[in-house]
Amino acid sequence: MTALPTSLPPAAAACPKDMVHGPCGGVRFDGLCELGDRPCPFVDAPVVRYLPDPGAGAVPTPPLLPSAAAMAALLARRPVVVADFPARALDRASLERCADVLVGHVDAVLAGDSGSARVQFPPAYRAALVQARGLPAWTGLNDRDRNRVALEGEVAALADVGVAGVHCVTGDHPRTGHRPDAPPVFDLDSTATAALARAAGHLVSVAESPMAPPADRRAARLRQKEAAGADVCFVNHCGGAGPVGRFVREARDLGSTSAFIACVPVVLDHASAALLRSFTTLVLPEGFLDGILDAADPHAAGIEAAVDLAAQVLAVDGVSGVDLSGGPGPGAETPYAEALAEIADRLAIRTTP
């Protein structure tokens, strides 16, 4: 049974995503909602505590599924390299080509719903296609398009597929994408979905955006996601190794037990730069994009910049891995996957003692 607070916070009534454990990562730097038409009601509100459903009684946390336990053991043993999966959303051949390029180079792919499309293959089907090629899938599961019954079905199917992890996100509002005509669902938010996934035995990850308002309460919000069942935190782009380290220390000071995987931007050309710039609260190291796009060979410069930044982030105390983050322009999915594989290979060489 999904856990929710016994009484909803006042901010929930004003949130267009019906969030309970807000704010999401889409809050703009000026405190406005990602829709741009209202202030985020959670920015000035206290952190919402996660409260288990009192009707559920004392439910023991189940052991991790074998595939989840294998990834948890890997995280405990050495830094991991995860890559955003660059394949086209509704193209099986593209999914399989990109998986074939990346298998053996990265530890898993973060295979979430494509940011450049709203109509997707279902998460469990996408994961099955990827894993059939021998590549572990860390599957993104968003609440934008699915009610709790659909989410429960996906969580069960992902358990049957045996994914490495489940990444729980609330998701962008449909009005910000290519199908603004689709009504939003948002039956649950990422915190409640984390509880659902952990109850099924998954290794559960969530995201936090250290630079998004309210920046001073992002670590405290992560602690509530951990209370719901999150094991891993993907740290969204926040400006480099220094800000990542500050967020990890702040979370640890509050008692966080998460493994932290920091997002590292991968930019190879103007199209991939444009996709990255579409992230609402993007913060990159100073001069990062200009150094790549102004280079004589942006592709080579982008690979070198990603390797350098990833090595810096992996040197931060408490960081358990990196996520090679971003995406290609249309038609460049396979070359982008090849670049991700090269970055992962070079990173292994750079970081091996």
pLDDT of residue 277: 86
List the domain range (segments joined by +) for residue 78: 64-351
What band does 179 get if pLDDT is binned at 50, 70 and 90?
Answer: confident
- Answer whether 88's CB lies under 8 Å from 328's CB: no
- Tell me whether residue 55 is in a domain: no
What is the average per-residue pLDDT within 19-37? 91
Q: Is residue 92 situated within a structural domain?
A: yes
Instruction: Please indicate, yes or no, if residue 2 is contained in any of the structural domains.
Output: no
Can you name the residues that pair with 259 across neighbouring β-strands?
232
Residue 53 has pLDDT above 70, yes or no: no
* Total domain count, the chain: 1
pLDDT digits (tens, 9 = 90+) for 185-240: 999 999 999 999 999 999 999 999 999 999 999 999 999 999 999 999 999 999 99
Which residues have a Cβ under 8 Å from the Cβ of 105 and sit 6 or more positions away? 340, 341, 344, 345
**How high does pLDDT run on average in the chain?**
92
Give one word for 318, left, alpha or beta, with left for phi > 0 and alpha for psi -120 to 50: left
Task: Please report whether residue 193 resides in a domain.
Answer: yes
Whether 54 is covered by a domain: the verdict is: no
Within a domain: 44: no
> Residue 112 domain-assigned?
yes
Residue 5, domain member (yes or no): no
pLDDT (0 to 100) of residue 50: 92
pLDDT band at 5, cuts 50/70/90? very low
CATH code of 115's domain:
3.20.20.220
